[in-house]
């Protein structure tokens, strides 16, 4: 037992040191820090939505239709962000809607990462026919404009939030496959790979234990950026009526609902739109910070 701790302790402290230096680098980027703060608050709101939201997101208060927000003339503290055309409380809908953003982002990047990494590694380790098949398949997906492809896929699967997420994951996967393959290929030529091959490591071990960890940095950055693109695309599909279906308070769907009132009651589309913008912006800022911290060569904010 004492031997075990002796071995793991330096490992742990090395991990801690790496984390500390990562945090030090990440902190340097003010934008990334603000982004992280915003997203953390939003995450707390999403987790505790049931307790924070003053009303139910789908209950209709018919006596107060299209009530303006509290800062506008005619607004009321009872409904801080006002109510929509069906008399539902905007604030409660916004709070519950934040859940969809995380749900969409996490599910989409989960699929992208797992499928993208597996296909990318297979392509990198099997030069020739298999590699060609995988990469050509990815080329085919990339030949179609992504939102159009996603829209067509949802048309096949049927409009729903889950199908929209599947469609978005499908159009994002090629980027992950290409990135994984390119990273893995550049690692494959290095000494540590050939030496562990000589030691008799299996292909699986080479793929997932030796090579993959060294490919992760750009993949994490890509995943962060895809998280935000997924939110944008899901909102776009919701806006076109092909994503989350009413009455779910997904922000893109809320925008679609408010579209006919853009000139008479602009706050109805202002609030969900701003929410999408700030969420996506924050995640992109975090992505920039991660890039700086994980890959000092690619620094964007200060070179």
The residue ranges that bind another protein (CB under 8 A) are 31, 132, 136-137, 139-140, 143-145, 147-148, 151-152, 155-156, 228, 232, 235-236, 239-240, 252, 255, 259, 262-263, 266, 269, 272-273, 276-277, 280-281, 283-285, 288, 300-303
CB of 156 to another protein, least distance (A): 5
Q: Using the structure block, give the residue that is written with the tokens 């899901």.
A: 234
Which lies closer to another protein via its Cβ, residue 45 or residue 137?
137
Measured CA to CA, the distance from residue 120 to residue 122 in angstroms comes to 5
CB of 140 to another protein, least distance (A): 4
The helix, strand and coil proportions of the chain, stated in percent and rounded to the nearest 5, come to 75, 0, 25
CA dihedral 68, 71, 77, 81 (to 10 degrees): 50
Q: Using the structure block, give the residue that is written with the tokens 């290095």.
A: 190
First-residue to last-residue Cα distance in the chain? 47
Name the phi and psi angles at 60, rounded to 5.
-105, 130
Which lies closer to another protein via its Cβ, residue 110 or residue 144?
144
CB of 189 to another protein, least distance (A): 16
Which lies closer to another protein via its Cβ, residue 205 or residue 246?
246
Measured CA to CA, the distance from residue 270 to residue 277 in angstroms comes to 10
Which lies closer to another protein via its Cβ, residue 154 or residue 206?
154
CB of 98 to another protein, least distance (A): 15
Measured CA to CA, the distance from residue 54 to residue 95 in angstroms comes to 9
CB of 34 to another protein, least distance (A): 10
Which lies closer to another protein via its Cβ, residue 14 or residue 148?
148
Measured CA to CA, the distance from residue 33 to residue 286 in angstroms comes to 7
Which lies closer to another protein via its Cβ, residue 19 or residue 152?
152
Q: Is the dihedral of CA 40, 38, 113, 173 positive or negative?
A: positive
Q: Using the structure block, give the residue that is written with the tokens 């962000």.
A: 81
Measured CA to CA, the distance from residue 276 to residue 296 in angstroms comes to 30
Which lies closer to another protein via its Cβ, residue 31 or residue 247?
31
Nearest alpha-carbon partner for 163 in 138, 171, 276: 171
CB of 280 to another protein, least distance (A): 4
CB of 124 to another protein, least distance (A): 14
Instruction: Say if CB 79 and CB 41 are below 8 A apart.
Output: no
């Amino acid at each position: 037992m004492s031997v075990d701790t002796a071995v793991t302790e330096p490992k742990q402290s090395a991990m801690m040191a790496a984390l500390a230096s990562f945090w030090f680098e990440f902190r340097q980027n003010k934008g990334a820090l603000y982004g992280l703060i915003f997203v953390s608050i939003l995450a707390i709101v999403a987790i505790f939505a049931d307790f924070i939201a003053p009303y139910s997101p789908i209950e209709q208060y018919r006596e107060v239709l299209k009530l303006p927000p509290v800062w506008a003339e005619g607004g009321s503290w009872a409904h801080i962000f006002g109510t929509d055309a069906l008399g539902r409380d905007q604030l409660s809908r916004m709070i519950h809607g934040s859940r969809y953003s995380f749900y969409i982002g996490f599910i989409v990047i989960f699929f992208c990462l797992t499928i993208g990494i597996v296909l990318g590694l297979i392509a990198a380790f099997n030069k020739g026919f298999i590699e060609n098949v995988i990469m050509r398949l990815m080329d085919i997906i990339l030949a179609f404009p992504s939102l159009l492809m996603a829209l067509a896929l949802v048309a096949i699967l049927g409009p729903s939030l889950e199908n929209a997420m599947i469609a978005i994951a499908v159009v994002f996967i090629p980027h992950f496959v290409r990135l994984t393959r390119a990273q893995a290929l550049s690692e494959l030529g290095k000494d540590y790979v050939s030496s562990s091959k000589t030691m008799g490591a299996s292909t699986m071990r080479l793929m997932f234990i030796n090579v993959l960890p060294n490919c992760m940095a750009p993949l994490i950055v890509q995943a962060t950026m895809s998280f935000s693109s997924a939110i944008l695309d899901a909102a776009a599909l919701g806006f076109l009526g092909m994503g989350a279906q009413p009455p779910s308070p997904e922000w893109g769907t809320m925008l679609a609902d408010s579209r006919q009132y853009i000139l008479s009651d602009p706050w109805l589309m202002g609030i969900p739109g701003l929410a999408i913008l700030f969420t996506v912006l924050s995640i992109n800022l975090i992505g920039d910070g991660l890039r700086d911290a994980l890959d000092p060569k690619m620094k964007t904010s200060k070179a």
